Chain A
Amino acid sequence: MQALFGQLLVGLINGSFYALLSLGLSIIFGLVNVVNFAHGAMYMTGAFFAWIGLSSLGIGYWPSLLLSPLAVGLLGVAVERTMLRRLYQLDNLYGLLFTFGLTLIVEGLFHHQYGNSGNSFPVPEALQGGSNLGFMYLPRYRAWVVLVSVAVCFASWFVIERTKLGAYLRAGTENPKLLQAFGVNVPLMMTLTFGFGVALAGFAGVMAAPIYQVTPSMGSGLIIVVFAVVVIGGMGSILGSIVTGIGLGLVEGLTKYLYPQAASTVVFAIMAVVLLIRPAGLFGREK
């Protein structure tokens, strides 16, 4: 029983990462209508920026938490402005292929420069150590990850669902032409949304840096699962991403307790079932 609680808590921690990443992916898909395959690469870039900041510039974890997502966001804005924008009028398969190519290039560059064993990013001093919960030892840093992820997810959901800015964003999702007719600068909004989405990925990368080894391939393993999360939750559904992200983390944790060998496939089995029963995803709407 103790082991089960432990695994569920670990699942919750992983689920927070899934939620954070799939949230960005969902926001981008919802408004910009791009299936951003480069999301994993942006996550990795965020982690690398933090590590480069620490090792060569002496920038610690706390400033990195802000600076690194900002840098990744700007990178995203540049990509959107110079390249991605040209593909909007085409089928969104082109956007997917473009971002997939971008992923390979970015990963290749980091691999060339930093090799594949990766680099260690230490846990910040204030968050070292942990506490014994009786059924498991919870590292303080992991608790921090859960708290921050939930806070960021909630804040994003609040902005999109409950503010005027969010109302514009949602309107843009529904009918961009009409919104533009009301005098809203839709292209700018799309650029900023893409930037914000990838900045979220960069943020998740910084959060992950002290836990996982910072390697060029750290994003490519995760992105597949995150895509499954988005598909199960319903493409473009903000709430769906958050809830399914955390939910699937828990299911994965449960599988690791019952039959660890299946842990890497259980998410995809669920995805297949959901697609058969509800093709639009659990929280998605048929268009």
Chain B
Amino acid sequence: MKRVASSLMMAALLSLPAAGRAADKISDGVVKIGVLTDMTGFYSDLSGPGSVLAVKMAVHDFGGKVLGKPIEVISADHQNKADIASTIARKWFDEDKVDVIMDLPNSGTAFAVMPVAAEKKKLTILSTAATTSITGDKCTAYNIHYTYNNWMLANGTGREVVKSGGNTWFFITADYVFGKSLEEDTANVVKAAGGKVLGYARHPQNSSDFSSYLLQAQASGAKVIGMANAGGDTINTIKQAKEFGITPKQTLAGLLVFISDIHSLGLETAKGMYLTTSFYWDYDDQTRAWSKKFQNHPDNAKKAMPTMTQAGLYSATMHYLQAIKAVGTDQAEPVIARMKAVPVNDFFARHGVIGPDGLHRHDAFLVQVKSPAESKYPWDYYKIIKKIPAAEAFPSVAAQGCPLAVKK
């Protein structure tokens, strides 16, 4: 008995220094991931609770621990307001010991939180925010832009549509930083491909009636109407375009459309539309396997298939945790260096590399929405028209012009 006790004591003593070291390496003895997202507003179906679920699934699949320390996921609703987002971010970093903030739908909130994280030397991994300058002139050393950006969305759709004859464009644009940036990116692509931009109409975010903007688009005679908006705005634009007999005479180009939008619109209304996506659940066996797991998860009350931003968050969380495991600490600098050094190849990202500017460049897809007759089973919504290789899908480091990454 005595011997057992003493050997236990011995073991305890021996393990002490090791435990002490691991505690140092993992700040506060826990890796804490904060998912800051839109839980109830316009973007809550495409990110929101599904984003939180994706991160939690990744933590669970990783084993719930890294370097022997627990991984915790917390979440909050920023209500799409930049001031609320930055307040929560400060509290999370200062009081709640959060190591990384993820998701951040709507670029306004992303721009509010990124500088806070950089100041506190903590990470941000953006999935739903889309503005290109996140990894351009507004880049920070502590940020990764994981799933897509406006440039990718604009290029994939813009270039292909112009190539197939849609050479005159009119934009219906959400009147805030994201919409304008998306419009500008697409207009540049259209012009570069030999097309012409005939005009634009800017509407306040969260409008419900788009008929007057659609009338302007109709009057312009443009072959293509580019929708530089998102969420419910896009849904209502598409719906009313059909009502006013604009489609199929003029073609709609969705610049930021999610599978959740198509699901709620129905194929009859959305059919024939082109869009660019970085993920489609029905692409191959790997994507199907993960997506079905997501769909049938008990926390996924609506049994919805994952959107690209939710799938991206799972992949990002895995990549982040693997980086911590590899470098043996959760300190931001070595972790982000590791994340940039190791390529990403999983169900979500093919040929993925995170550049020195923090932009994750990976393959993307140009797809067309199926008609009801072409759709064979639930959520069978997209025809893949073209796989866009990573180098074509995203802007080069030089083009992005992030001051941290461009050598002078």
Interface centre among B209, B266, B304 (most CB of A within 10 A): B209
Q: A3 and B215 in contact (CB under 8 A), knowing A213-B232, A221-B208?
A: yes
For the complex, what is the distance from the CA of A142 to the CA of B211, rounded to whole Å? Answer: 11
Q: A260 and B203 in contact (CB under 8 A), knowing A118-B235, A120-B265?
A: yes
Q: Which residues of A contact B206 (CB under 8 A)?
A: 217, 221
B264 engages A120 (CB within 8 Å): yes
Q: Which residues of B contact A222 (CB under 8 A)?
A: 208
Q: A130 and B245 in contact (CB under 8 A), knowing A115-B302, A118-B232?
A: yes
B216 engages A118 (CB within 8 Å): no
A263 engages B204 (CB within 8 Å): yes
Q: A120 and B239 in contact (CB under 8 A), knowing A222-B208, A261-B204?
A: yes
Q: Which of B41-49, B318-326, B332-340 contacts A (4 or more CB under 8 A)?
A: B41-49
Is B243 positioned at the interface, with any CB of A under 8 Å from its CB? yes
Q: Which residues of B contact A122 (CB under 8 A)?
A: 268
Q: A218 and B202 in contact (CB under 8 A), knowing A115-B302, A116-B45?
A: no
A261 engages B243 (CB within 8 Å): no
Chain B residues near A (Cβ < 8 Å): 40-42, 44-46, 48, 175, 201-204, 206-209, 211-213, 215-216, 218-219, 231-232, 235-236, 239-240, 243-245, 260-261, 263-266, 268-269, 302, 304
Nearest neighbor of A249 in chain B, beta-carbon distance:
B209
A253 engages B245 (CB within 8 Å): no
A213 engages B236 (CB within 8 Å): yes
B243 engages A13 (CB within 8 Å): no
Q: Which residues of B contact A261 (CB under 8 A)?
A: 175, 202, 204
- Distance from A137 Cβ to chain B, minimum over Cβ atoms (Å): 5
Contact of B208 among A120, A137, A218 (CB under 8 A): A218
Q: Which residues of A contact B265 (CB under 8 A)?
A: 120, 213
A139 engages B264 (CB within 8 Å): no
Q: A118 and B175 in contact (CB under 8 A), knowing A3-B215, A213-B232, A213-B239?
A: no
For the complex, what is the distance from the CA of A127 to the CA of B265, rounded to whole Å? Answer: 19
Q: Which residues of A contact B263 (CB under 8 A)?
A: 117
B264 engages A260 (CB within 8 Å): no
Interface centre among A11, A117, A139 (most CB of B within 10 A): A117
B216 engages A3 (CB within 8 Å): yes
Which 7 A-B pairs give the minimum distances between C-beta atoms? A117-B264, A256-B212, A117-B45, A264-B204, A6-B215, A10-B211, A116-B44
For the complex, what is the distance from the CA of A118 to the CA of B175, rounded to whole Å? Answer: 22
Is A211 positioned at the interface, with any CB of B under 8 Å from its CB? yes
- Distance from B97 Cβ to chain A, minimum over Cβ atoms (Å): 31
1/0 contact string of A239-257 vs chain B (CB within 8 Å): 0000000000000010011
B204 engages A136 (CB within 8 Å): no
Is A2 positioned at the interface, with any CB of B under 8 Å from its CB? yes
For the complex, what is the distance from the CA of A13 to the CA of B219, rounded to whole Å? Answer: 19
- Distance from A186 Cβ to chain B, minimum over Cβ atoms (Å): 38
**27 interchain pairs, CB-CB under 8 A:** A6-B215, A10-B209, A10-B212, A115-B44, A115-B304, A116-B42, A117-B45, A117-B46, A117-B231, A118-B264, A120-B265, A129-B245, A137-B245, A139-B243, A139-B245, A141-B243, A211-B240, A213-B235, A213-B236, A213-B265, A217-B206, A218-B208, A221-B207, A256-B213, A260-B201, A264-B204, A264-B207
CB neighbors of B among A1-36 (8 A): 2-3, 6-7, 10-11, 13-14
Interface centre among A11, A122, A213 (most CB of B within 10 A): A213
Is A111 positioned at the interface, with any CB of B under 8 Å from its CB? yes
A215 engages B232 (CB within 8 Å): yes
Q: A111 and B236 in contact (CB under 8 A), knowing A3-B215, A221-B206?
A: no
Q: A260 and B208 in contact (CB under 8 A), knowing A116-B41, A123-B243, A139-B244?
A: no
Q: Which residues of A contact B268 (CB under 8 A)?
A: 122
A260 engages B212 (CB within 8 Å): yes
- Distance from A254 Cβ to chain B, minimum over Cβ atoms (Å): 10
